Structure 1
Amino acid sequence: MKTIDGDLIKLALDGNFDVIIHGCNCYCTMGAGIAKGIKTEFPEAFKADVSTEKGVKEKLGTYSSATVLRNGHEITIVNAYTQHHWRGKGVKADYEAIEKVFALIKHSFSGKRIGYPLIGAGLAGGDWEIISNIISTQLAGENHTLVKFAP
């Protein structure tokens, strides 16, 4: 896993990634964290999210996506369903869902330049060491980059 500091959305808009992934809950909110920025910059991704059934646990480990053209670059935004809800304290990241969705992502986007933030380790409270091992295993052999937010 490559790691860089920066703004994932800006880097995608500048053409650095073909696919960006962010963790979502299953309630179609996209109201905080990087999801809020994605909702603003890529309303198509939010539209894809709200086209799924709200609140169902069966979404865990799946994704919705939208492919957009911005600044002459085609970007696919992946809404990865890695947590069921966002309320309360404690760990909301679902490690099994993260494993399943990254296996799907490898299958769907192999050969693409993939970028993502600290999925599941921010507002979802997950352990980044566990999550990064899952992502590294599932995306083995792919061109994927962790973007640690730095404005």
Structure 2
Amino acid sequence: MIEATRGNLLEADAEALVNTVNCVGVMGKGIALQFKRAFPKNFTEYAKACKGKEIKPGKVMVFETGNMLNQRYIVNFPTKRHWKEKSRMGDIETGLMDLCAQVQRLNIQSIAIPPLGAGLGGLNWHEVRQRIEAAFETMPEVRVLLFEPEGRTAPSGYLGAPKARA
């Protein structure tokens, strides 16, 4: 089930939070910077994985937070090869395949997803949203909180109206 929402993804009531990253170990802007500040251990592991050339397009990195209930996992999702570059739709598509595989492997029941590559990455949100919907359509038991880019409205067919937070 996909629910469109807005607000602070880091406060989402979800078992897993998706963090958009690049493949060079920099979390300097956008939501990645927020994750770096909120989850410094995740950043350390991510930077180490980048240094070891383990972070690649199409391959997510799952970090266990140690929380027992919500926000148990941070899923670092490469949307850019380098922070200076724009995102590529092909990388989003292959990344979504791996994301869904990890959701199934870990039996994740709820996940919060930002607009993958549609912010600083420059991709068209409508096209990205379609790919996210297609990726999760075979997993209706998973609650997907899909965070809309600021200033956008939810398309018809989404459950619930977007929620504004103070």
In the superposition, the TM-score normalised over structure 2's length comes to 0.76
Q: Rate the CA distance shift 1:24–1:69 in 2: closer, same or farther, 3 A.
A: same
Distance in 2, matches of 1:109 and 1:93, equals 23
Residue 65 of structure 1, CA deviation: 2.2
Distance 1:23 1:74, change over 3 A: closer
Matching residue of 1:47: 44
Unaligned runs of 5+ in 1: none
2:95 and 2:135 map into 1 onto residues whose CA distance is 9
Structure number with larger C-alpha Rg: 2
Query: Residues 65-84 of structure 1: CA distance to partner in whole angstroms, max 9, x if unpaired?
Result: 21113596452001111211
Does the C-alpha gap of structure 1 residues 55 and 98 become closer, same or farther in structure 2, counting only changes over 3 Å?
farther
- Show CA shifts across 1:44-87 (max 9, x none): 22122112234969701112121113596452001111211122
Tell me, what secondary structure is at the counterpart of 2:72?
A: strand
Separation in 2, partners of 1:144, 1:72? 16
TM-align CA RMSD: 2.4
Residues 49 and 55, structure 2, Cα contact 8 Å, conserved in 1: no
Using the size of structure 1 for normalisation, the TM-score is 0.83
Gaps of 5+ in 2: 151-164
Quote the Cα distance in structure 2 between the aligned partners of 1:138 and 1:19: 16
Contact conserved, 2:16 with 2:111, CA < 8 A, in 1? yes
Q: Which residue does the alignment assign to 2:4?
A: 3
Q: Among the aligned pairs, what percent are the same residue?
A: 25
Q: Which amino acid aligns with 1:146?
A: L
Q: Is the 8 A contact 1:6 1:147 kept in 2?
A: yes
Q: Deviations over 1:14-61 (max 9, x none)?
A: xx1011112211111011101001011111221221122349697011
- 1:23-102 equivalences in 2 (<5 Å): 23-54=20-51, 59-70=56-67, 73-87=70-84, 92-102=86-96
